[in-house]
Structure 1
Amino acid sequence: MQAPLIKTLQNSRNYTLQVAEAMPEKLYDSKPAGAGWNFREQLHHIAYGIQWWENNYMKGNKTDWQPPATKKNKKEIMAYLNEAYDGLQQTLEQGKLSADAVQGFHATIDHITHHRGQAVLHLHVQEIEPPEYTY
Structure 2
Amino acid sequence: MKASLLSTLSNARQYTLQVAEAMPEKHFHVSPETDIRTFAELLHHIGYGISWSEENYILQQQADWNPPAAPVGKAAVIAYLGLSFDMLKATLESVPLTEEVIAGFYATIDHVTHHRGQATIYLRHQGIVPPEYVY
| TM-score higher than 0.5 | yes
Q: How far 1:38 moved relative to its partner?
A: 0.6
Over the aligned positions, Cα root-mean-square deviation in angstroms equals 1.1
- Structure 1 position 50 matched with structure 2 position 50: yes
Cross-structure match for 2:114: 114
Cross-structure match for 1:41: 41
Return 31-40 or 9-18, whichever deviates more. 31-40
Question: Given that residues 19 and 120 in structure 2 are in contact (C-alpha distance below 8 angstroms), is that contact kept between their aligned partners in structure 1?
Answer: yes
Cross-structure match for 2:81: 81
> Partners in 1 of 2:33 and 2:60 — Cα distance?
38
List gaps (5 residues or longer) in structure 1.
none
Amino acid at match of 2:70: T
Q: How far 1:34 moved relative to its partner?
A: 5.4
SS of corresponding position for 2:44: helix
List gaps (5 residues or longer) in structure 2.
none
Against the structure 1 CA distance between its residues 95 and 64, is the aligned structure 2 distance closer, same or farther, given a 3 Å change threshold?
closer
Question: Given that residues 49 and 108 in structure 2 are in contact (C-alpha distance below 8 angstroms), is that contact kept between their aligned partners in structure 1?
Answer: yes
Number of equivalenced pairs: 135
Q: How far 1:23 moved relative to its partner?
A: 0.2
> Partners in 1 of 2:65 and 2:123 — Cα distance?
27
Taking only the aligned residue pairs, the percentage that are identical comes to 52
Instruction: Write out the 4+ residue segments of structure 1 that deviate beyond 6 Å after TM superposition.
Output: none
SS of corresponding position for 2:32: coil
Question: Given that residues 71 and 77 in structure 2 are in contact (C-alpha distance below 8 angstroms), is that contact kept between their aligned partners in structure 1?
Answer: no
Question: Given that residues 44 and 81 in structure 2 are in contact (C-alpha distance below 8 angstroms), is that contact kept between their aligned partners in structure 1?
Answer: yes
- Structure 1 position 23 matched with structure 2 position 15: no
Q: How far 1:98 moved relative to its partner?
A: 1.2
> Partners in 2 of 1:35 and 1:125 — Cα distance?
16
> Partners in 2 of 1:35 and 1:24 — Cα distance?
21
